Amino acid sequence: MSEQPHTPPDEGEIHAAELAQTEEEGLKETAEDRLSDLVEAVWERKVLDRGFVRLVGHMGGDVAVVQSARVSFGHGSKGEEKDRRLIDYLIKHHHETPFEHAVFKFHVKCPIFVARQWFRHRWASYNEISGRYTTFDEGEMHLPEVLRVPDRANKQGSTGRIDPDVEKQLLARMKEHQETTWALYEELMGRGVAKEIAREVLPLSLFTEFYWTVNARSLMNFIRLRAEQHAQYEIRRYALALRDVFRETMPWTYDAFLEHIWKDLSTGIEQQQAER
């Protein structure tokens, strides 16, 4: 009899097997614990009430950009001064492919409504926690600091805040609604409903987690669009955190980025915080 070819298990089978093992052992880890055990962050910034951005790995940096740009001529680094001038020239004249050789891997925790905007940036790799294979953690929902009003100049945006007395009442109702939906989520699973169905009652304010691998070219595009004043306040907070780690890990590229691409540094974050 001929030997049958080996068929490796698909990702779903792997996840199911790991989940079954966890349940059998009676482990009580949170979703964050499960992901944090995989890799140690080299940089971290807290964002919003429960979120974060963690840099868990990076490759290349400014030197990789220089090496990639000069390979056509069979050269590498020519010293800091000339290398910085080269990076400035590449940014200024939109020769951006060398920046694809500097790569970042992030672990992100953000509300689902932020993640759905984030995932529109497709020049990257994503893997997100799944509510089919694991249960979410109690209380992991975003409650806004203030309730903003529609921005007349930016129809899809928001600005300022509503009357403080009304705001206090509505924030309390939002919190109550979150607690009610969480109680229903737990009740559904407790009465035998599958996790993939029970999760349907959870709101967009629920925090999700994902790994995001992105090159410097795409990261600059993300920061340029999502730290801009017309982007939603919550995702701007994440974009500014990414700006900080980008500045620390690729300072030469960051300086050129400020000079030639991200010229409007008015994110509106400081103004909004001052108004509060």
Q: How many whole angstroms separate alpha carbon 87 and alpha carbon 267? A: 25
What is the rounded distance in angstroms from the CA atom of residue 87 to the CA atom of residue 65? 8
Beta strands in the chain (DSSP E): 43-47, 51-59, 103-111, 125-128, 149-151, 154-159, 207-215
In degrees, to the nearest 5, what angle opens at C-alpha 30 toward C-alphas 25 and 36?
100
Residues annotated as catalytic are: 226
Residue 218: CB atoms within 10 A of its CB come to: 20
CB atoms within 10 A of CB 66: 25
- Using the 8-state DSSP alphabet, how is residue 139 labeled? T
* Alpha carbons within 13 A on the beta-carbon side of 175: 11
